[in-house]
Amino acid sequence: MQMFDSHDDRSMNSRNERERRTKRRFMIDQEVKYKMLYGQRIAETGVGRTMNISSGGVWFSTENMLTSGMPVELSMNWPVLLNDSCPMKLMIYGCVVRSNEKGAAVAIERYEFRTQGSRAFQQTAVPAPFEVRLNN
């Protein structure tokens, strides 16, 4: 996985783009699954690849142009293991702010990390059952 800071000249296409950004962006290339939400229904699903990510947003490739203003849920495998043994998934909830033939930008409203389960992690993280008896 190649990752570098967007303040590095290799990641900037123009001076205007550099000036417009207020948060640091990181070039992370990971598969991302997306769900476009329409109320309680899933309006569209797809798979793409992240191009960059920051604390405020994600830019990723899409199969189709996405509708600006629509709520979206993204999920991607996080490239670092928790405690060197447990895979994690990053869940992002946000809104599409722009889309074109190359991809879509999503403003992050909230996010969470979820563990994906690892036997080694579960065995070390959850203590074995035990019983405590008090002598009266």
- Residue 125 has what pLDDT? 47
pLDDT of amino acid 123: 45
Find out whether 65 and 36 touch, Cβ atoms under 8 Å.
no
Nearest to 110 by CA among 70, 72, 77, 64: 72
CATH topology of domain 9-120: Thrombin, subunit H (2.40.10)
* Whether the Cβ atoms of residue 60 and residue 103 lie closer than 8 Å to each other: yes
Tokens of 76: 């991607």
85 with 96: CB under 8 angstroms?
Answer: no
Tens-binned pLDDT, residue by residue, of the chain (136 aa) = 444 444 444 444 444 455 455 778 888 899 999 999 988 899 999 999 999 999 899 999 998 999 999 999 999 998 888 888 889 999 999 999 999 999 999 999 999 999 886 544 444 444 444 444 455 4
HEC states along the chain? CCCCECCCHHHCCCHHHHHHCCCCCECCCCEEEEEEEECCEEEEEEEEEEEEECCCEEEECCCCCCCCCCEEEEEEECCCCECCCECEEEEEEEEEEEECCCCEEEEEEEEEEEECCCHHHHHHHCCCCCCCCCCC
Q: Identify residue 125 by its one-letter amino acid code.
A: A
pTM score: 0.69
Alpha-carbon distance of 46 to 79, in angstroms, equals: 20
